[in-house]
Homo-oligomer: A and B are copies of this chain.
């Protein structure tokens, strides 16, 4: 199966990293992969555009099937390889306990999109907004919005003992959200102000699927300080 799959990805991108982790967790090692450079604009190359007309990474093919959306690829892999590797979403029918767990996983998975978006809004403000449209007040507001969001996740982790986002077991919530948390820490998030997120980050760092897919560019360059004060 794995040899019929190809993933085009970029180092340090949470959407790419999610799919890399899902592939490891579902024991799909041996897939074809192409590590591309965002800096060189390789995500806009013809090779990528032919698979993903949005010119974004990840791009993912499985035989003739194309599924580029990172959430979609992770859900697809769980559906196709339900009983292989880590069970990322339990079955619901019949068990009320599992139903409560699925609901919690889904809640965190999709709240993860909000966390990611609020983080990206801060990163992109300086990069994308033209000089003549920039306002310190707008940038400050984006940082405050991210702070509020991060405090919510501190609260989530306090409420679900077990060390994973949905309790005692690694789940789809961790596949989806961990890469964003790792990027937040990499960008200077204070371990003192966000102790539960820092603890979660350290716990997951040692997991084989996470170690095997750690962004190669992060090993070569130091972290940054953009989020030091939030």
Taking beta carbons and an 8 Å cutoff, which residues of A are in contact with B? 53-54, 62, 64-73, 75-76, 79-80, 82, 89, 91-93, 99-100, 102-103, 106-107, 109-111, 113, 117, 129-130, 132-133, 135, 137-138, 152
Contacts and interface: CB of A to CB of B under 8 A. Distances in A.
The 10 closest A-B pairs by CB, nearest first: A72-B106, A69-B110, A67-B103, A72-B110, A79-B92, A65-B103, A133-B135, A71-B110, A80-B92, A133-B138
A106 B64 contact: no
Contact of A106 (B75, B91, B129): B75
Given A71-B110, A133-B135, A137-B133, A76 B93 contact: no
A76 B53 contact: no
B152 A107 contact: no
Contacts of A130: 137
Contacts of A62: 103
Contacts of A135: 132-133
Contacts of A111: 69
Contacts of A100: 64-65
A66 B110 CA distance: 13
Contacts of A69: 106-107, 109-111
Contacts of A70: 110
**Most B Cβ at <10 Å: residue of A66, A110, A117:** A110
Contacts of A110: 69-72
5 contacts: A76-B92, A76-B106, A79-B89, A79-B91, A113-B113
B103 A72 contact: yes
Given A107-B67, A137-B130, A79 B53 contact: no
